[in-house]
Amino acid sequence: MTQTEPLTRRPPLRDPADRYVGKPVDRVDGPAKTTGAALYSAEYPYPDITHAALVHATVTRGRITGIETDQAAAVPGVIAVLTHLNAPALKPAPKQSPMNLSSLVSGTSVDYLNTDEVHWNGQPVAVVVAETLAAARQAAALVEVAYEEFPATVDFAAEEPKATPQKSDLLQSGEGKKGDAEAALAAAPVSLDLRYTTPPHHHNAIEPHATTAVWDGDRLTVHEGSQSIAWAREHLALRFGVPAANVRVIAPYVGGGFGGKSSLWPGTIVTVMAARATGRPVRMMLTREGVYRTVGGRTPSAQRVALGARPDGKLTSLIHTSVTMTGRVGGGPEQVTSQSRHLYDAENILVRQSLVQMDMVSNATMRAPGEAIGTFALEAAVDELAYGLGMDPIELRMRNEPDRNPIDGKRFAHRMLREAYALGAEKFGWSGRTPEPGSMRDGRWLVGMGVASAYHPAWLFWANIKVRLFADGTVLVRCGFQEMGMGGATAHAQIAADALGVPLGAVRVEYGDSELPTAPPAGGSGQTASVAASLLAAADKLKRSLLALAKRSPGSPLRGLRPRDLQARDGGLHPVAGTGESYAAILTRAGRDHADAAIGSESRAGQVAGQLKFMAQFLRDRRRFVRAAAGAQFCEVRVDPDTGEVRVTRWVGVFDVGRVINAKMVASQLRGGIVMGIGMALSEATLVDPRTGRIMNPSLSEYHVPVHADIPAIDVHWLDDPDPTMPLGLVGVGEVGITGVAAAVANAVHHATGRRVRDLPITLDKLL
């Protein structure tokens, strides 16, 4: 297809000369992190700091009938034991609604320590504050709670048949249909109809959730490992009944987030409450078990994928339906079938998502919520169909690669899956694979090779930003985005340096503080593009005002020149051929020591207006075209035929992620996603006792994430072709890496062994 009309009528953002963008620049925060100078949220020193520990409910659903705290209070060093009987009042949680951003960060709607109700096994029912962490934890273990128990719903498998279909379509999550997929399936010469299941997964960021809360009168400062400082500020202000301007959330360093730190969980709320009750700064560092008990993770899923095809491989029917959970007290649907609207040019399509409500800690976003597990089912089923047809799985995908979005005929903003597979096949050596399962060996190991597609939608959000150019030629970028390890500060320093034509070392980026201009959460793989859009706009504004300033002087070589005649380079504005003026010269002559440009407004009304205008544009775009990151995952496994042990021995991933800002950081993001996907494929599962709803493996010794010995060298590539609808052509890379991984592993395991495992994780017992 040729795309003649432009995809967007918005003027293209100025494309700076790429001096830093695209380069594998070292992280600007690397030295602070590697020398220990970087402070994480549990490390802020306050002289009179106290320590908090949680007491968790041990029943699923019920009511507290008695709570005995005398023993705990008697532990030396204990300052307070807060329960629903004596804790300060909390304003009720807002009703969850997309129109109320502060409600979206509410992990659950429970009014912690303000109610005798227990809504899940693990909900905090008391908090101990003490002079030392040891005293707090010892005392917490001594709190005795009696309960009246109520019936509860905790067995996902038992609830699955009662699931109800999801409606809302703003996020394209409701039912989607083209033609009559069921009839086409029944009539298809070749077909399959399969069930896939995936377990719940839990967040295991290196830094467990931690909060340091300090009240000064009715002003609150919170050091919080958060992916969404602006929303956290709004939410805390609301719950504690103070104006948002009185709340400051500080998080320059976050030790991994992955979606688990997008919401505010009970640990945070209870810590702020404890600081208010005791009048002392309080630090809460959740134990690893505490994270399992109080922070939501990925939903379990049961999925149906049915495919119908003609003998030549052309898909006539694609059906993908899912059942997932939300908590009864919070959590939202995960977009399990989203990729199935976009990946294959099937003549008939049906996607549908259904939900059950469980009395568990609410589910939460976790790296590619939806697509991570949805691509497992879809891409494993496509592999099975390829075997049913006697066709190479890449060839089957290429025969069904669409020119337009399959379900509704919209255009793709950017789509290079053909190129991704071609490059991946070459790098991986796909042509050396013999298709017969069990046909490849390395000594006693069975060798298997599998492929799968990766897919994740591209998001853009509204970001406010301020950029200041100093007469000494340095630049300060101020934007309250979050850095949880992906390299945002470095990326935006690169972008600013190119846009303004100054050395990278001349740019300082301030972030991770809610006092800064409000930026979107680090979520949806959308933060870098969102901040980049505003940063480029601010840089343009700044250059225009510098030009105007220069033109006031009769002697300026810039007189008579228009913005489009100029380049920002060498620390100033210059005609394309020739010499203009340095920023220093322009500012000094004008008697100024700096110039400012701002995008967005910090007033409440200005924020709302900006956000609405931006959302309207985003939704308009979305009606016209589909934008996403995609990729091709290639996996090689070795399977021990006697023990069923699976080792991933090679990985190649090729991604269509638009323009890459920093090769080193993008490679790390994609590799990190693949590592997390390998964990999902082979070992990760949260085990829930179906009688009590209690998580049975709340530790890294029993919930197995991959370690270095589990992971081979991961070879990642990208096509580096800018997406014409995205700022600088960049598409977010945070989540696409995990998608397709579990299917590529499952497909490789099948190739090695002839066994199809449709229930994650692929543990060795399932191969024997």
Q: Which positions are catalytic?
A: 735
Instruction: Pick from 27, 56, 223, 367 the residue near ligand MOS by CB under 6 A.
Output: 367
133 φ, ψ (degrees, to nearest 5): -65, -40
Positive or negative torsion for Cα 285, 290, 294, 297: positive
Over its C-alpha atoms, the chain yields an Rg (Å, rounded) of 27
Judged by beta carbon, residue 369 or residue 572, the one nearer ligand MOS is: 369
State in angstroms the smallest separation of the CB of 242 from ligand MOS: 27
755 to 200, 217, 384, 639: CA distances (angstroms): 23, 64, 11, 11
Q: Smallest distance from the beta carbon of 525 to ligand MOS, in angstroms?
A: 6
Q: 450 by DSSP, 3-state: which?
A: strand
Piece of the chain touching ligand MOS by CB under 6 A; list 268-276, 364-372, 660-668, 680-688: 364-372
Q: How far is the CB of 675 from ligand MOS (least distance, A)?
A: 16
Selection from 70, 49, 190 nearest residue 142 by Cα:
70
Stretch binding ligand MOS (CB under 6 A), from 264-272, 350-358, 366-374, 742-750: 366-374
Q: Residue 679, interface with ligand MOS (CB under 6 A)?
A: no
Contacts of 43 by beta carbon, 8 Å cutoff, 6+ apart: none
In whole angstroms, how close is the CB of 372 to ligand MOS at the nearest point? 9
Nearer to ligand MOS, 475 or 676 (CB): 676
The answer to the question of residue 365 lying near ligand MOS (CB under 6 A) is: yes
* Residue 197 makes contact with ligand MOS by CB under 6 A: no
List 231, 258, 462, 718, residue binding ligand MOS (CB under 6 A): 258
Tokens 């979050």 correspond to 482
Pairing of strands 594-599, 465-470: antiparallel
CB nearer ligand MOS, residue 301 or residue 365: 365
Which of 369, 600, 673, 698 touches ligand MOS (CB under 6 A)? Answer: 369
Decide whether 172 or 227 has the Cβ nearer to ligand MOS: 227
Closest residue to ligand MOS: CB criterion? 259
Residues 510 and 494: their CA atoms lie apart, in Å, by 14
User: CB 663 → ligand MOS: shortest distance, Å?
Assistant: 22
Q: Is residue 366 close enough to count as binding ligand MOS by CB under 6 A?
A: yes
Nearer Cβ to ligand MOS (332/424):
332
Binding segment toward ligand MOS, per CB under 6 A, in 251-259, 350-358, 387-395, 629-637:
251-259
Token pair belonging to 405? 């979005």
Q: Considering only 51-59, 92-100, 258-266, 392-400, which stretch makes contact with ligand MOS by CB under 6 A? A: 258-266
Residue 740 in contact with residue 378, Cβ under 8 Å?
Answer: no
Smallest gap from Cβ 578 to ligand MOS, in A, equals 46
Check binding of 524 to ligand MOS (CB under 6 A): yes
Number of residues that bind ligand MOS (CB under 6 A): 11
The interface region with ligand MOS, picked from 94-102, 148-156, 252-260, 708-716 by CB under 6 A, is 252-260
> Is the distance from CB of 480 to CB of 230 less than 8 angstroms?
yes
Taking the complex as a whole, how short is the minimal distance between the CB of residue 597 and ligand MOS, in angstroms?
29
- 98 or 390: CB nearest ligand MOS: 98
What are the beta bridge partners of residue 357? Answer: 326
Give the pairing type, strands 301-309 and 124-130.
Answer: unpaired
Q: Which one of residues 62, 122, 124, 257 is an interface residue with ligand MOS (CB under 6 A)?
A: 257
Among 106, 262, 335, 474, binds ligand MOS (CB under 6 A): 262
Q: Please, which residue, 313 or 526, has the CB nearer to ligand MOS? A: 526
Question: Partners of 147 in the beta sheet?
Answer: 64
Q: Which helix (H) or strand (E) holds 507?
A: strand 507-510
**229-240 vs 266-278: helix crossing angle, rounded to 10:** 50
**SS3 for 53?**
strand
Contact (CB, 8 A) for 420 and 631: yes
- Residue 523 binds ligand MOS, judged by CB under 6 A: yes
And the tokens for 679?
């964990």
- Tell me the three state secondary structure of residue 340: helix
Nearer Cβ to ligand MOS (62/524): 524
Q: Which two tokens stand for residue 383?
A: 């592999």
Q: Give the CA distances from residue 217 to residues 47, 247, 400, 544, in Å, rounded to whole numbers and listed in that order.
A: 18, 11, 63, 44
Q: Smaller CB distance to ligand MOS: residue 370 or 517?
A: 370
Instruction: Return d(Cα 349, Cα 353) in angstroms, integer.
Output: 14
Q: Where are the beta strands (DSSP E) in 606-726?
A: 625-626, 628-639, 646-656, 714-718
Q: At closest approach, how far in Å is the CB of 678 from ligand MOS?
A: 18
Q: Which is nearer to ligand MOS, 55 or 254 (CB)?
A: 254
In a 13 Å sphere around the CA of 664, the CA atoms on its Cβ side amount to 14
Stretch that binds ligand MOS, among 338-346, 362-370, 391-399, 474-482 (CB under 6 A): 362-370
- Helices 371-389 and 663-682: crossing angle in degrees, nearest 10, is 70
**335 binds ligand MOS, rule: CB under 6 A:** no
The stretch near ligand MOS (CB under 6 A) out of 41-49, 282-290, 363-371, 472-480 is 363-371
CB 676 within 8 A of CB 715: no
Binding site for ligand MOS (CB under 6 A): 227, 257-259, 262, 365-367, 369, 523-524
